[in-house]
Amino acid sequence: MSGRVYTADEKYNIIMESFQNPNIAIASICREHGIAVSMFYKWKEQFLEGGRKGLAGKDPDKALMKENEELKGIIGEMTIANEILKKNYIKRKR
């Protein structure tokens, strides 16, 4: 098998070929495209998982971005509080 990198579109087309031609063996499709059968099944599982996430109606990227912004806010508040504490500590020490 080759060590070439396949684009998302190429992977999609290979997977869709298996759905459109159910009478053709997966091994035959893999041989035609120069990929291992295990790679095909890995791509297929990733493809189906993406579909499951899409059907769930949740956008994991938006949720992660929201959590990230909240955490950045907390870090900002803690940084400010830390600076204030440092300044007060230095003043008391003098």
Domain-wise residue ranges, the chain: 1-58, 59-94
**Lowest model confidence (mean pLDDT) among 17-21, 39-43, 55-59, 77-81:** 55-59
Give CA 38 to chain center in angstroms. 20
Phi-psi region of 34 (alpha: psi -120 to 50; beta: other; left: phi over 0): left
Topology of domain 1-58 in CATH is Arc Repressor Mutant, subunit A (1.10.10)
pLDDT for 3: 75
Q: With beta carbons less than 8 A apart as the criterion, state whether 44 and 55 touch.
A: no
Strand, helix or coil for residue 50: helix
pLDDT tens readout for residues 11-28: 999 999 999 999 999 999
The whole model's pTM is what?
Answer: 0.57
With a cut of 80, say whether residue 54 has pLDDT above it: no
- Contacts of residue 39, defined as CB under 8 A and 6 or more positions apart, other chains included, come to 1, 30
Amino acid 3 reads G
